[in-house]
Structure 1
Amino acid sequence: MVSDVLPCYLVCDVSFSMTDHIDEVNAGMREFRGVVHSDRRAGAEIRLCVVVFAERPLVVRPLLPALDPAEPVRPRQEQGSDFGAAFTLVRTTVERDVGDLKAQGVRVRRPVLFFVSDGRATDPTWPAALARLTATASCPVMIAFGLGAVDRRALDRIGTSRVFLGRDGVRLGIALASSVARTAQRPEHI
């Protein structure tokens, strides 16, 4: 039985504005899995949940070992990017997952939230939902990854720990793997 678990949440905008970047997201998830696969100990500790959103959010992969293959993320032909609904779903998902793991006697490291988007929210009240997420006892380390023509100010508000931009030549899988590795090195449990 694994005694420590690091929950990771990949939250991906799949709205119409992100259609051209979904292949990069899927390549990044495969690359991340390859990095985790190279370190069996880390692979046993890291769990990955994938949440997609456009006009509404959806958990497309529950919190499972990161070594388990993930289904490819699919774009939606929806104009909206409802950040607030995504943050609300992630908050309840993280709280439930952390509670379930603790009930199993597992020590839980501080979760990592890796938010992938162009940063162009269509709901003006999303900062309130973000504030509720970051005010929880199981507040994740917040990392943002911007693809396309990004709204840097929005991504800076979300990625309080770090912001990566694909246009700078940073690959999503490497950014995700390095963020998880950096968090895993901290002895922080919740």
Structure 2
Amino acid sequence: MQILPFYAVCDESGSMAGPDGVGTINSALPDLHHEISTNPSVADKIRFALIGFSTQASVLQPLADLSELTQLPSLSAGGVTSFGAVFQLLKDTIEKDVAALKAEGHDVYRPVVFFLSDGIPTDEGWRATLADLNGFRYAPKIIAFGINDADEATITEVANFKAFLQTGEAISPAMALREFASSLTRSIVNSATSMAAQGGEGFQLQVDEQVPGFTSLSLDKL
């Protein structure tokens, strides 16, 4: 089969505590699960993983066919914001996951990461770890979302495909998080539908050009 791995990577630092933070993501995850798992043409082509990070990073839901899961785990907030920890975990996890899928005989597309943070990294060595992630053979396409106090320059540096920043105070953090989850769901569904329509030939990742409540950031870097 042709498989497209998606990784949702969510900030679980202390600033994400409460119903307007991780609580909003947790309430949106069942909708994402239902939308994908009940559509066989989508579930067959997508594998999904959930990763949380704060002081440390952890794989909350290993890469899986969502139609084989009854529910997704929840995020919980606490600690600081270590980008380096999650970039290292992503590299290690993607390498193992892609190797396992290939060993099962699947054709695997380049993984896609939806990265969400509401602040700035508290560790100093994260850029070197990000460079390692972008430099290895299964380097993912990264779509980065920043909310609350996230820094525009940092979000564009993390992204290598698309970047979005919450539009000031025009939208609440909770609404921004719901739009993040909706964009993730739409991207998964539309990408799988495109794969089916193209038979895997000439497939293009389908990601929103604009997300309500977010400004699209330019990734043109010099």
Give the structure-1-normalised TM-score: 0.87
The Cα of 1:119 is off from its aligned counterpart by 3.9
Deviations 1:122-180 (A, max 9, x none): 01221111111011111111011222222121111112211234555651222112333
Deviations 1:79-111 (A, max 9, x none): x21101110011000000000110110111111
1:74 to 62, 76, 92: 76
Q: 1:96 to 1:123 in 2, by over 3 A?
A: same
Q: Which has the greater radius of gyration?
A: 2
User: What letter corresponds to residue 26 of structure 1 in structure 2?
Assistant: N
The Cα of 1:29 is off from its aligned counterpart by 2.4
**Does structure 1 retain, via aligned residues, the 8 Å contact 2:15–2:77?**
no
- The count of residues paired between Structure 1 and Structure 2 equals 184
**Does structure 1 retain, via aligned residues, the 8 Å contact 2:119–2:148?**
no
Identity %: 30
Tell me which stretches of 4 or more aligned residues in structure 1 moved more than 4 Å.
Answer: 166-170, 181-184
After superposition, the CA RMSD in angstroms is 2.0
1:179 to 172, 187, 193: 187
Query: Which ranges in structure 2 are unaligned for 5 or more consecutive residues?
Result: 195-201, 205-222
Greater Cα offset, 42-51 or 26-35: 26-35
Structure 2: how far apart are the matches of 1:34 and 1:165? 27
Q: How does 1:33-182 map to 2 (within 5 A)?
A: 33-67=33-67, 68=69, 69-76=71-78, 78=79, 80-167=80-167, 171-181=179-189
Query: Which ranges in structure 1 are unaligned for 5 or more consecutive residues?
Result: none
Structure 2: how far apart are the matches of 1:128 and 1:15? 21
Q: Which of 1 and 2 has higher RCO (CA within 8 Å, sep 6+)?
A: 1
